[in-house]
Amino acid sequence: MDRIRIVGGNPLNGLIPVSGAKNAALPLMIASLLTAETLTLENVPRLADVSQLMRILGNHGVDYRIEGKRIGDAPYAGQTIQFHAADIVDTTAPYELVSRLRASFWVIAPLLARMGEAKVSLPGGCAIGTRPVDLLLMVLEKLGAEIEIDSGYVLAKARRGLRGGEIDFAKVTVGGTHTALMAASLAHGSTLIKNAAREPEVVDLADCLVKMGAKIKGAGTSRIEIEGVGSLQGARHTVLPDRIEAGTYACAVAMTGGDVLLEGATEALLPVALDVLRQTGARIEETPKGLRVSRNGGAINPVDITTAPFPGFPTDLQAQFMALMTRAEGTSRITETIFENRFMHVQELARLGARIRLEGDAAIVEGRPVLKGAPVMATDLRASVSLVIAALAAEGETLVHRVYHLDRGFERLEEKLVACGADVERLREAG
């Protein structure tokens, strides 16, 4: 298994091109199941989760073609992929495939909407809490589906098609909102979603669906209205930049010091998180090319945060922010409200010398002047990258084991960091 070796202490200086957002690319790819025409997605990141979803879609009958480079493409440009679901040959998403990628459960919505039936394994994905699918199933039931759970599979049927309805989420859910958007777009009649997720990735999916002919109003607010249509057509859409990747590198610079342009990132994608980073002492400016993040010496100020749905502080940046706080001059409190058990990075950060105490859904981080490199283990996607950030600022060498978690969500992580002066190397190993 590959490992990543990091020798800490170098500030980061230079340019990091921000890739297309994994969390937008995945639902957009799934939306290709809604039409018999070609959906072309640009700026798709090269990630293990994207490849895994391509395998899952292929199993349903989706053909895909990756376009080659074009004149003028940046060397790091994302991929352009055409998805074509002319015929859906299989409405079953098997355990072997779905268990490796939680978001693939969302195929249930387009399969049901287009084919009137779907059989999808209950999901797996990151080990961060129980992550139920009750709200996603509620969506499908509100739109007229009959749902049964049998031997680890959800069987959903709507023989005469889905019909519009009112969906009122008891809890804000990104996946639930994606599911509702896709299902309602092909339902008979109108649907109202209340307490919808407002994440930029939801807006990106809605924008693409509108290009495909869907009638959607209000995406980006907590109230979305959808008027179902009989069929959807092909479209071309560019995946929005990855705000979590951008925020991760911003945390890294805030910790190591230096000056980095996060090409393609915008302030609007990370409203609260950037303000928090400013409070820690980082300087962040929006430029026409992206966000410029710098910190030149000076203390890292401790700041308390609480994760919340967009536009609040993203849970997907909680671990990275905790890494930064381990070097703050003082104590900070980090409260996680979205996922239980999302503190698995705590014990690994402690191996680098961090002082963190858990109190229910909060972590109390006592900042220390120095961290020291050590062998650590990646546990989930965001936790792994928090270890990388801490290692970049630690004295000496850190070896991060189980880096396949990183490959699920961070494109060319080592290359991007090395280009900014970090001492990072992937040690490839067979087996």
Q: Which positions lie near ligand UD1, rule CB under 6 A?
A: 23, 26, 102-103, 129, 131-136, 171, 173-176, 201, 315-316, 338-339
Contact at 8 Å (CB) between 216 and 185? yes
> By beta-carbon distance, which residue lies closest to ligand UD1?
175
- Token digits of residue 104: 């693939």
What distance in Å separates the CA atoms of residue 431 and residue 428, rounded to the nearest whole number?
Answer: 10
The CB-of-291 to ligand UD1 minimum distance in angstroms stands at 20
Question: 194-208 b/e with 16+ CB inside 10 Å = b?
Answer: ebbbbbbbbbbbbbb
The CB-of-339 to ligand UD1 minimum distance in angstroms stands at 5
- Token digits of residue 71: 């004149």
Residue (136 or 346) nearer to ligand UD1, CB: 136
420 included as an active-site residue: no
Owner of token pair 């919808």? 196
Residue (74 or 170) nearer to ligand UD1, CB: 170
Residue (109 or 260) nearer to ligand UD1, CB: 109
Residue (249 or 310) nearer to ligand UD1, CB: 310
Half-sphere exposure of 422 (CA within 13 A, CB side): 35
The CB-of-113 to ligand UD1 minimum distance in angstroms stands at 18
The CB-of-309 to ligand UD1 minimum distance in angstroms stands at 7
Q: At what angle do helices 22-31 and 108-115 cross, to 10 degrees?
A: 20
Phi-psi region of 48 (alpha: psi -120 to 50; beta: other; left: phi over 0): alpha
Contact at 8 Å (CB) between 102 and 123? yes
Residue (26 or 390) nearer to ligand UD1, CB: 26
The CB-of-26 to ligand UD1 minimum distance in angstroms stands at 5
Q: Which of 126, 208, 251, 420 is labelled catalytic?
A: 126
Name 191's Cβ contacts closer than 8 Å, sequence gap at least 6: 143, 164, 165, 166, 167, 180, 184, 225, 226, 228
The CB-of-200 to ligand UD1 minimum distance in angstroms stands at 11
Q: How far apart are the first and last CA of the chain?
A: 6
Contact at 8 Å (CB) between 365 and 356? yes
Residue (39 or 103) nearer to ligand UD1, CB: 103
User: Annotated active-site positions, please?
Assistant: 126
